Each structure stands twice: as structure tokens, then as C-alpha cells.
């Protein structure tokens, strides 16, 4: 067993983790642990843009951005967090520009901006150009820029180290992590004063998803097993424009540049549901529009998809502003977007829920926002909650840089007084036992089969539209899958690059995240944002204007409620 000691360890090398690391680089001894090579982190898959009320192409104000975020989240957004997001987005984007991020430019040389779903001027009056972008590769440019800054500042990177466990003292203070080095199979104990989780989401729980294979919810499930609650897990986003059957996301930038959704009759149907914003309505609503069209027989040729139409856009606009989006359609569906409409359907994309945190990135334990000492989180793995029941497009990248930066700065301040706590006895024992259980079983269940059944079940019963019946069935099926998982056996008994072992470990994390999602969705008897119950179609502010906290206990999942922070905007009906 290898031992390392740092002032701070950050698990996850996407936008949030790297932004936090840069705040501490050169001032503290820090390490960034990632199961991937950092530029392969999922931030790089984000396409359309990062919103900030710069006002470079038309009038805009941070207050408008805050309002859109709150309304887009169906008023479950903590408004103190939304104000931080909207205010600090402006400075954060300019900081990225100064780091060297190659944004598209206006003729005057300013950062160019475009429209995106749910972003409006004058508190909902009409669409506004707020999304700063680098073609349709904005996330790719952000991850490259931040990684370059990490190298420049000589951050310690532990690449291809897979998180297995968190280390806590007997009185509940986080003091390190346990990870396995993928190349050698060696277990590493990483001792630190502070720990930050920035590992992203768990989209691989669904059959049709935009998430990379690494999106397995490790950073949510492992703290949950250690008693840290998960918040608002019932809110998972299914954007409308995934490539049919594949789930590869066609960025909302396609609609921002003028793409139109069409049904089997050729009708531009979004305007029938959302007269003001039409195709630029928020993601959760547009996905439900598609589901409704399909249910009423207007899917293409009677099937479960519709088209996005880009054929009316000038070819030079498509080439300059949507190069990756259109290449995806050509590569995966053999469709030419300049002349043909592209088949699309909703796809599992983003978790609004996760580890509950305050606005400074500290993980919190209860409805009173009691911090978990030594533990921080930011990015998709965290729930601050700035997205509420539904995230607006481009706000994920804002979330990464704004709250990643705040978490890093908070850790740096806390390090000045934080002691290096002694490790508990045999801190690696639980992680080693879990891996040994998977390795040492000669015969048993196949992890890939269980994963495929989990993904199909989540797609069929915990997707855009849910009901008590579908969720109850999902909960029962998950119990069976969990029992079968306890009997998983792997074929590869070796140590070096044992992906068979690590994928089985990741499956356990997916099962945990799915269980929390189903429990929250069953309990929340209303429809709000991305959580739509066909048996409770209305929003219920009297009983459910609250966050859900899910605790894992020996007797099953225990749920609690946490109040929503309402500062400026009182809840109102969400219309576009």
C-alpha cells in the first residue's frame, strides 16, 4: 500500500476540479486525482456555450440571468446561489478569456454571444444573446485551457487513479481518500487536510445517454455510503436533442442558431406549447413536448422520435458555428444536416441533484446546512442548488467555473487553520475488502448483464414521464438487481489495468445512485421541472417547495426536506 500526504486532494479533473486546483496552486501542496487523463473529463463534451450577462451583442443584466435560472429551475433553485452564479459568471468568463480560451469574436473583437433555451431579456420578455461560445466546442476549450493552467502552475496530477473510498475520522471529519492505481492495481492512501469531490454525474444509469462511460456516479455513491446525504436526486435532465437510439447530444446551440423541431406532419410543433420561446423553451419542457407528440401519434413514421431541421440555415453558419453537431449527425446517422433533417429523441444528460453544498463549496449534512468537516464538492456531483428542478443550457459550465473557483478559495482559506488529522486504523480495509469480494468469487453473476438490465429499466420507468406504478416497479426491480450484484464474479483476476474489476465497482455506484433517484421520485408527489409525474401533473408548492435529502441507513433510505432559499423572486406559474 502506497501513502501520500497533501494539504488538499481534489478528486476529479474536469472544469470544477481544475478551477479549484488553480486557486490553490503555488500556495499549498495539492493533488488532483482522476480515473481519466484530465482532458478526457466530461467537461470536454459540453458544446454550446457558457452564459454570462456580458451584454456584448445586446443589452443584458445579471439580474435577468438570475431570474431565468430561478424560473428555469421551477423555483426549486436556492436564490442566494443563483445570485452568486449570475453575478460571478461575468468575471469568471473574463478570467477564462485571460487564461487564453479562444472564444468566438464579434467584428469588434469582443466575446461573441448567442441565444440559448430559457435565457431571456427583461425577465422573460424575449430571447437574449447570453451564451459565450467557442464554435460548438466550448467545453473542450475550457478543459484544455484549465489543464494548461494546471500544468503551468505545477499541480500534482495523479492520472488514472480510481476513487474507492473516503477516509473519515471517528468524529466524522474527512481526512483523505483511498484510490487504486489503474496501471498497477496498487491501493493508495492519500492523506489530506481537506478533500474535494468533483467527479461529475451518473448518466450511464440510463440506456440512452449523452454521458461518457466514466459517468458512473462514483463521487456521489461513495460519500453516500459513508453517511453523507444526496439531495434532489429525483431531478435528472433529459434534453430533447439526442441522436436517435444513440443518445449523443446535439447541442442546444443548434436551436440557438435557429434549428426547428418538426413532427411527422412537418409542423414546427414547439410554438404550439410555448408561444413566446417556441424551440428555445427550457430543456425539460421541450422533451415533454416530444413525448407528447409521440404519444399522440405524431412521431416520425409512428416511431418514438422527431426531427430537428437545420436545412434553412446558411451552410457557412453551420460550418462556422455548428461543426461538431453536424459531424455527429453525418458520422453516426449518415445524415447531411445541410440538406436533411436529423432524427432526435430525449437523452439522459445531467444530474441536478448530488452532494448538498453551501455557496462556498462545503458539503453539508442536514436541513440546517451543517458542514461535513474537511469535505467539499463542486460541479455536477454537487447540488448547491443552483439548477433546482431543471438546469438551463450553458449553466453547467458557469456552475463549474464559478463554484469550482469558490470551493478552491474556501479550501485555501480553511487550510490556514485546518490540522492534518491522524488516520484511522487500516483506512484502506473496506476498499480492499470490496475489491477482494469481486476478485475472489469464481462463479457468479455477470456485471455487464446487470448493468444492461439496470439501464433498460431506468430508461423504461425512470425517464421523462414517471408514475407511481413505474417507479414502484423500478424499485422492486432494483432490489433484485442489487441482490444479483452481491453475487457478481469477474473473469480478470489480475492487477494491471483490470477494467473488468473497475467496471464492476462502478456498477455498484450506478445502483446506489439509481436507488436514491427512484426513492426521491416516488416520494415527490408533484411535477416540477425535469421530474414529471403523470399521476401528479401539477406543481405543489404547499407540500413540495423543498429539497429532498436522501440518507442511506441500515433500514433503507430515509428522506428529509430542506427549505429552499427564496430572496428576490416569489414562485409563479412557469410559462414561456
Active-site residue list: 283
d(CA 513, CA 29): 32
C-alpha cell at 99: 487564461
C-alpha cell at 244: 436517435
C-alpha cell at 177: 481518500
C-alpha cell at 275: 408561444
Prior bond of 574 cis (ω within 30°): no
- Positive or negative CA dihedral for 495, 500, 501, 502? positive
Residue 204: name the closest of 331, 304, 347, 333 by CA: 347
Burial class, 43, CB count within 10 angstroms (exposed 0-12 / middle 13-18 / buried 19+): buried
d(CA 81, CA 79): 5
DSSP assignment string, 270-318: HHHH-TTTGGGS-HHHHHHHHHHHHHTT-SGGGSS-EEEE-TTS-HHHH
- Positive or negative CA dihedral for 352, 353, 354, 357? positive
CA distances (Å), origin 233, targets 20, 33, 425: 24, 25, 33
The answer to whether 11 touches 163, Cβ cutoff 8 Å, is yes
Residue 37: name the closest of 221, 182, 192 by CA: 182
DSSP assignment string, 391-402: PPTTHHHHHHHH
What is the chain's Cα-based Rg?
22
Instruction: Count the residues in the chain.
Output: 576
CA distances (Å), origin 466, targets 289, 451, 459, 482, 526: 15, 21, 10, 22, 11
d(CA 48, CA 323): 11
Amino acid at each position: 500500500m502506497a501513502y501520500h500526504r497533501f494539504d488538499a486532494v481534489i478528486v476529479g479533473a474536469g472544469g470544477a476540479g481544475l478551477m479549484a486546483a488553480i486557486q490553490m496552486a503555488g500556495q499549498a501542496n495539492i493533488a488532483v486525482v482522476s480515473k481519466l487523463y484530465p482532458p478526457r473529463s466530461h467537461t470536454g463534451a459540453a458544446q454550446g456555450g457558457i452564459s454570462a450577462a456580458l451584454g456584448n451583442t445586446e443589452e443584458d443584466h445579471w439580474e435577468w440571468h438570475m431570474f431565468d435560472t430561478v424560473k428555469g429551475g421551477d423555483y426549486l433553485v436556492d436564490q442566494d446561489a443563483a445570485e452568486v452564479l449570475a453575478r460571478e459568471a461575468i468575471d469568471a468568463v473574463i478570467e477564462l478569456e485571460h487564461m487564453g480560451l479562444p472564444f468566438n469574436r464579434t467584428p469588434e473583437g469582443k466575446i461573441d454571444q448567442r441565444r440559448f433555451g430559457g435565457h431571456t431579456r427583461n425577465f422573460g420578455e424575449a430571447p437574449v444573446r447570453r451564451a459565450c461560445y467557442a464554435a460548438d466546442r466550448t467545453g473542450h476549450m475550457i478543459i484544455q485551457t484549465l489543464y494548461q493552467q494546471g500544468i503551468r502552475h505545477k499541480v500534482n496530477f495523479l492520472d488514472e487513479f480510481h476513487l474507492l473510498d473516503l477516509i473519515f475520522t471517528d468524529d466524522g471529519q474527512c481526512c483523505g481518500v483511498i484510490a487504486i492505481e489503474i496501471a498497477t492495481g496498487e491501493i493508495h492512501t492519500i492523506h489530506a487536510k481537506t478533500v474535494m469531490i468533483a467527479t461529475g454525474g451518473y448518466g450511464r444509469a440510463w440506456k440512452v445517454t449523452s454521458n461518457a462511460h466514466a459517468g458512473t456516479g462514483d463521487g456521489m455513491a461513495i460519500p453516500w455510503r459513508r453517511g453523507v446525504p444526496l439531495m434532489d436526486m429525483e431531478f435528472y435532465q433529459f434534453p430533447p436533442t439526442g441522436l436517435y437510439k444513440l443518445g449523443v447530444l446535439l447541442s442546444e446551440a443548434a436551436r440557438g442558431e435557429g434549428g426547428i423541431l418538426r413532427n411527422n406532419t412537418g409542423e414546427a410543433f414547439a410554438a404550439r406549447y410555448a408561444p413566446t420561446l417556441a424551440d428555445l423553451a427550457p430543456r425539460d419542457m421541450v422533451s415533454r413536448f416530444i413525448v407528447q407528440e409521440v404519444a399522440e401519434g405524431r412521431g416520425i413514421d409512428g416511431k418514438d422520435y422527431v426531427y430537428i431541421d437545420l436545412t434553412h440555415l446558411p451552410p457557412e453558419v453551420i460550418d462556422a458555428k455548428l461543426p461538431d453537431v453536424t459531424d455527429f449527425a453525418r458520422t453516426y446517422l449518415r445524415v447531411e444536416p445541410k440538406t436533411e433533417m436529423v432524427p432526435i429523441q430525449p437523452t439522459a444528460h445531467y444530474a441536478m441533484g448530488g452532494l448538498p453544498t453551501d455557496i462556498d463549496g462545503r458539503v453539508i449534512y442536514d436541513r440546517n446546512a451543517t458542514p461535513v468537516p474537511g469535505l467539499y464538492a463542486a460541479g455536477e456531483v454537487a447540488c448547491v442548488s443552483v439548477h433546482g428542478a431543471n438546469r438551463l443550457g450553458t449553466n453547467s459550465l458557469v456552475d463549474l467555473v464559478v463554484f469550482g473557483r469558490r470551493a478552491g478559495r474556501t479550501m485555501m482559506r480553511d487550510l490556514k487553520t485546518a490540522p492534518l488529522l491522524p488516520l484511522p486504523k487500516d483506512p484502506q480495509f473496506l476498499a480492499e475488502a470490496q475489491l477482494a469480494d469481486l476478485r475472489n468469487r469464481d462463479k457468479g453473476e455477470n456485471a455487464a448483464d446487470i448493468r444492461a438490465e439496470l439501464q433498460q429499466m431506468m430508461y423504461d420507468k425512470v425517464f421523462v414521464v414517471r408514475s407511481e406504478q413505474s417507479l414502484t416497479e423500478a424499485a422492486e426491480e432494483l432490489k433484485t438487481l442489487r441482490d444479483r450484484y452481491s453475487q457478481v464474479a469477474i473473469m480478470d483476476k489480475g492487477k494491471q489495468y483490470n477494467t473488468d474489476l473497475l467496471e464492476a465497482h462502478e456498477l455498484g455506484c450506478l445502483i446506489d445512485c439509481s436507488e436514491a433517484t427512484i426513492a426521491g421520485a416516488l416520494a415527490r408527489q408533484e411535477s416540477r421541472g425535469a421530474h414529471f409525474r403523470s399521476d401528479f401533473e401539477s406543481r405543489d408548492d404547499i407540500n413540495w417547495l423543498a429539497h429532498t435529502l436522501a440518507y442511506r441507513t441500515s433500514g433503507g433510505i430515509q428522506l428529509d426536506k430542506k427549505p429552499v432559499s427564496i430572496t428576490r423572486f416569489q414562485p409563479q406559474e412557469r410559462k414561456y
